[in-house]
Homo-oligomer: A and B are copies of this chain.
Amino acid sequence: MTARPLVLASASPARLRLLRDAGLDPRVVVSAVDESQVVAVEPRAVVQELATRKAQVVAGGLSDALVVGCDSMLLLDGRVLGKPADAAEATARWQAMRGRTGTLLTGHTVIDAGTGRAASGVGATDVRFGRPTDAEVSAYVATGEPLRVAGAFTLDGRSAPFVEGIDGDPGNVIGLSLPLLRTLLAELDVRLTDLWAS
C-alpha cells in the first residue's frame, strides 16, 4: 500500500525533527494565521483554536493529505507565556520560573484533506524548572535561544540541563505530542505506523 502524504503546517524545526525521529517524513507547508482573530480566551481553547486554524489554512489548498497543525504555550501561575520580547524579558522570566512548575500546552489538529474530517486534542505536560544561577541564566540568554521559543526555554536544546523533570509527554513540550498524534490519526482511521517512510 502507498502511505498517505503527511503535511506539517508549522515552520518549527523542533516539530519536524520530532516527526522525523519517529520515522515520519512530512512535507512542510506554512501559511500565515492572524492570531489576533482568535476568539477563545481559556488557554487550552486558544492553543486548540490556533492549531485548527493553522491546519485549516494549509488543508484548504491540498487534496488527499493528512495535515497536522500545532500551537504551544507555557502556563505559569495562570499566565500564558509566549516568546519573550527581548533579552531582559528572557532573563526576568528565568529568574521568576526557576524552582517552579509550569504546564506546557500544545493544541493539535489533524485534517484529512481528502475527506475534510478532522481530529483535535490538547496535550498538557508539567515542567519542573531547575534552579540555574544568575550566571547560568546570563550565559543562556546570551546564546539567543530563549528569544526564539515559547516559554523562553527548550527541553531539546541548551536549557535542557535547567529542567529538572517533566510529568507527561516530552514531545508535547517540544511542540508536538507523538502519542496524541497517534490517537488523532486513529480517529481518522489512519495507523501511524502505516505512515513510516519505508
Query: A interface vs B, CB < 8 Å?
Result: 18, 21-23, 125, 130, 135-136, 139-140, 143, 155-158, 160-171, 178-179, 181-182, 191-193, 196
Contact = CB atoms under 8 A, between A and B. Distances in A.
Contacts of A182: 130, 161-162
Contacts of A193: 135-136, 139-140
B21 A157 contact: yes
A155 B168 CA distance: 12
Contacts of A166: 166-170
Contacts of A156: 21
Contact of A158 (B22, B162, B168): B22
Nearest to A174: B170
Given A22-B160, A161-B178, 5 more contacts: A22-B158, A139-B193, A140-B193, A165-B167, A165-B169
Contact of A161 (B139, B163, B192): B192
A170 B170 contact: yes
Given A21-B157, A158-B22, A193-B135, A167 B164 contact: no
A155 B140 contact: no
Given A136-B193, A139-B196, A196-B139, A179 B158 contact: no
Contacts of A125: 165
A155 B156 CA distance: 12
A21 B181 contact: no
